[in-house]
Amino acid sequence: MNIVIVDDDVLVTEALKTILESSGKVTVAATGFDGTDAVKLYKKFKPDILLTDIQMKEMSGLDATKEILAFDNSAKILLLTTFLDDEYIVSALKCGAKGYILKQDYAAIIPALEAVYSGQSVFGSEIISKLPSLLNQKPEFDYSDYEINERELEVIKEIAEGHSNKEIAANLYLSEGTVRNYLSTILDKLGLRDRTQLAIFYYKYDWYNV
């Protein structure tokens, strides 16, 4: 897969480039140093994934993510940071990033890239554990108001747990095509864009009902 790396620490950028390319699974098309670079390089190279830091001087990774998704809502952006900051986590989730992982967890970066490339959303275990307390939960929520049936709710829960369509199909004894159809129907009913927003919706409104 082709990616672009953006980080204002040159040493981090070069280290990531070396680590990722040495795996034989990743080609780094370009590197940049702030959010402005992220936007320009994304437009120029159209990478499979943009791997970007969050806190940078000229433009943050979050602002770059919003700008990129404004002109390409299919962009796959994975946020990589040293900050396990509550505000950053919520902002990353709400702006449409496909994942948020910590830099220090080097072993997880390539699996995270592969997961995002295949269409999944990726959030580190430290972040998943924080979601219920970070998002504004509403204990009383009725999915029937959105005409969501029990089978669709099972699919929603599987997606919220980060499972791929293949994993969901195996867990629920369905075909992958059926899972894709369920996902499309669910997104349409809830007025959501993708599985990341669906996971946020689930944690925000239905955590108490698990």
118 CB neighbour count, 10 Å cutoff: 12
Q: Answer whether 29's CB lies under 8 Å from 6's CB.
A: no
What pLDDT is attached to residue 203? 74
Q: Answer whether 30's CB lies under 8 Å from 45's CB.
A: yes
What pLDDT is attached to residue 131? 59
In single-letter form, the type of residue at position 65 comes to T
- Helices vs strands, H then E, count in the chain: 11, 6
What pLDDT is attached to residue 209? 43
Residues 6+ apart with CB under 8 A from 31: 4, 5, 6, 7, 13, 14, 17
What pLDDT is attached to residue 125? 58
DSSP-derived secondary structure letter, 54: S
What pLDDT is attached to residue 65? 92
What pLDDT is attached to residue 174? 93
184 CB neighbour count, 10 Å cutoff: 10
Question: Mind listing the domains of the chain with CATH numbers?
Answer: 2-133 (3.40.50.2300), 135-209 (1.10.10.10)
Taking 70 as the pLDDT cut, the residues of the chain under it are: 83-90, 124-141, 205-210
What pLDDT is attached to residue 207? 44
22 CB neighbour count, 10 Å cutoff: 9
Q: Answer whether 80's CB lies under 8 Å from 13's CB.
A: no
